[in-house]
């Protein structure tokens, strides 16, 4: 449905109650105003107001928007009416894991600058990987149960020893924190190497051998990140650090 360019007035009904201010109502009003609409903002201030409104108009949710005489609907319907993208609940995206890698990279630059007054150091690369591991582990630790459940779909070790899915986030986070400090390499490196190798083999088998379309548990159990290259990259980074840190310690 295209935007109505002849009528720039929108009528909005949204909940504004003493104990509840509808966030989607605010988002809808702000969206309409950004698009140049004059908004007739009507508040539903009690539960009785809301119930009466929904019964009168035959709707099940608020907010509701009319443009001219046409009822458009709620926030997502308004976005669609205005030609904006509408995210589906099952839509896959790389945004969560890319955000983690981007923040990890910026943090590595910041730490390197604080420590050496330059970002052009080998430690910058090490810190980037270690910080990214820590952030990815932290994401999993937010809901270990959901992560471990999703992890069982493809991890070969977790399918044989179910509790491994609950151990994994702690191992990744611990290895990342130790590698940031450069301490206890004899603990962090074997952990990173082990979980990285198992993870890489599991992801490669599931995605590239069996051609399965799965969601990755890399940023926690509730993510819509597709299992594939990004997941494999996480594991390869851990393998790299698991090999590099002890080798560096021996060379120094």
DSSP string, the chain: ----SS--EEEEEEEEETTEE-HHHHHHHHHHHHTTPEEEEEEE-SHHHHHHHHHHHT-SSS-EEEETTEEEESHHHHHHHTT-----TT---SHHHHHHHHHHHHHHHHHHHHHHS-S-SHHHHHHHHHHHHHHHHHHHHTTHHHHHHHHTTT-HHHHHSTTHHHHHHHHHHHHHHHHHHT--HHHHHHHHHHHHHHHHHHHHIIIIIS----B--TT-TT--PBSSHHHHHHHHHHHHHHHHHHHHHHH-
At 8, is the pLDDT very low, low, confident or very high (cuts 50, 70, 90)?
confident
Closest by Cα among 91, 170, 191, 172 to 131: 172
The pLDDT of residue 181 is above 70:
yes
Please tell me the predicted confidence (pLDDT) of residue 89.
Answer: 62
% residues pLDDT > 70 (the chain) = 94
Q: How far apart are CA 131 and CA 124, in angstroms?
A: 10
Confidence of residue 222 (pLDDT cuts 50, 70, 90): low
User: What is the pLDDT averaged over residues 115-141?
Assistant: 94
Predicted local distance difference test score (pLDDT) of residue 86: 79
CA distances, 19 to each of 14, 22, 81, 151 (Å): 14, 10, 31, 39
Residue 250 clears pLDDT 60, i.e. is over it: yes
Residue owning tokens 């459940």: 149
User: How large is the average pLDDT for residues 145-166?
Assistant: 93
Tens-place pLDDT, residues 184-201: 999 999 999 999 999 999
Dihedral, CA atoms, 9, 12, 18, 19, nearest 10 degrees? Answer: -140
Give the per-residue pLDDT at 217: 79
pTM: 0.78
pLDDT band at 71 (very low <50, low <70, confident <90, very high): very high
Is there a contact between 82 and 28 (Cβ–Cβ < 8 Å)? no
Instruction: Say whether pLDDT at 167 is over 90.
Output: yes
Mean predicted confidence (pLDDT) in 105-132: 95
- pLDDT of 2 higher than 50: no
């Amino acid at each position: 449905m295209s935007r109505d360019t002849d009528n720039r007035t929108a009528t909005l009904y949204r909940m504004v109650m003493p104990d509840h201010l509808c966030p989607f109502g605010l988002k809808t009003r702000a969206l309409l105003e950004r698009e140049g609409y004059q908004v007739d903002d009507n508040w539903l201030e009690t539960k009785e107001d809301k119930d009466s409104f929904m019964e009168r108009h035959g709707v099940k949710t608020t907010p509701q928007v009319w443009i001219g005489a046409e009822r458009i609907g709620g926030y997502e319907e308004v976005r669609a009416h205005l030609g904006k993208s509408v995210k589906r609940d099952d839509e896959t995206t790389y945004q969560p894991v890319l955000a983690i890698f981007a923040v990890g990279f910026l943090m590595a630059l910041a730490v390197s600058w604080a420590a050496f007054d330059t970002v052009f150091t080998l430690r910058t690369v090490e810190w980037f990987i270690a910080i990214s591991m820590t952030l990815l582990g932290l994401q999993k630790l937010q809901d270990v149960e959901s992560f471990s459940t999703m992890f069982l779909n493809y991890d070969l070790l977790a399918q044989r020893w179910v509790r491994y899915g609950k151990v994994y986030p702690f191992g990744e986070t611990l290895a990342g924190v130790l590698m940031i400090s450069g301490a206890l390499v004899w603990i962090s490196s074997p952990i990173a190497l082990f979980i990285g190798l198992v993870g890489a083999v599991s992801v490669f088998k599931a995605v590239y051998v069996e051609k399965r379309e799965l969601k990755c548990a890399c940023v926690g159990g509730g993510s819509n990140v597709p299992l594939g290259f990004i997941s494999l990259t996480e594991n390869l980074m851990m393998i790299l650090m698991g090999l590099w840190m002890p080798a560096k310690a021996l060379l120094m």
